[in-house]
């Protein structure tokens, strides 16, 4: 069990920019285990998560929610312990006074690959259903490419300089997720 003295309060942590002035995520978080809190531009808490590699998790969140990732707070722990990570996450959510949208009703928007099928119009759904299987794959791949292009424009407008690559195999299913 984590003691209260092991948990640093969110208010004690400084807000750090999600993307630095050079267009990169904080490199010191690569390979670090810990808990992180993501804030919108107005510094309202959007999501609290934990990871065995905070950097990779932050990168995933950036592509899934590029308009909501502006500020960051984190606590690194030295040894992996799901109990400690969950205790810190719970304490931060409780300290916030309400559950952030990314940990409640919008959790899949933050935690699973982007599914372009979820945003199809009724006309697109109708077209998709009428297509042969190979044409359905092409259709989904094109939708994923279109969404990827939109995301790249948003990220560029945010000043992101990192080369972001998506998994090409997932595009055939209409999904977008990073390729590592």
Give the pLDDT confidence score for residue 2 in this predicted structure: 46
Cα 119 to Cα 125: distance, rounded to the nearest angstrom: 10
Structure confidence by residue, pLDDT tens digits, 120-139: 999 999 999 999 999 999 99
Cα 105 to Cα 2: distance, rounded to the nearest angstrom: 28
Cα 148 to Cα 145: distance, rounded to the nearest angstrom: 5
Whether residue 4 has pLDDT greater than 60? no
Structure confidence by residue, pLDDT tens digits, 46-77: 999 999 999 999 999 999 999 999 999 999 99
Residue-wise DSSP of 98-113: S--GGGTTTHHHHHS-
Tell me the mean pLDDT in the region 10-21: 97
Cα 156 to Cα 28: distance, rounded to the nearest angstrom: 22
Cα 154 to Cα 91: distance, rounded to the nearest angstrom: 33
pTM value is 0.92
Tell me the mean pLDDT in the region 16-21: 97
CATH class of 7-111: alpha beta
In the chain, what are the domain boundaries? 7-111, 114-176
């Amino acid at each position: 069990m984590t003691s209260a003295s092991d948990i640093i309060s969110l208010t004690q942590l400084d807000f750090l920019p999600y993307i630095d002035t050079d267009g990169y995520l904080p490199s010191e978080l690569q390979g670090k285990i810990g808990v992180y809190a993501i804030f919108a531009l107005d510094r309202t808490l959007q999501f609290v998560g934990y990871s065995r590699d905070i950097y990779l998790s932050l990168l995933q969140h950036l592509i899934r929610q590029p308009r909501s990732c502006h500020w960051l707070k984190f606590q690194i722990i030295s040894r992996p312990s799901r109990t400690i990570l969950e205790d810190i996450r719970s304490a931060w959510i409780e300290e916030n006074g309400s559950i952030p949208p990314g940990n409640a009703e919008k959790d899949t928007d933050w935690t699973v690959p982007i599914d372009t099928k979820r945003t199809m119009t009724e006309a697109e759904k109708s077209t998709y259903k009428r297509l042969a299987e190979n044409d359905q794959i092409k259709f989904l791949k094109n939708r994923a490419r279109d969404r990827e292009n939109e995301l790249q424009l948003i990220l560029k407008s945010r000043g992101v300089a990192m080369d972001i690559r998506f998994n090409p195999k997932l595009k055939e299913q209409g999904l977008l997720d990073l390729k590592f």
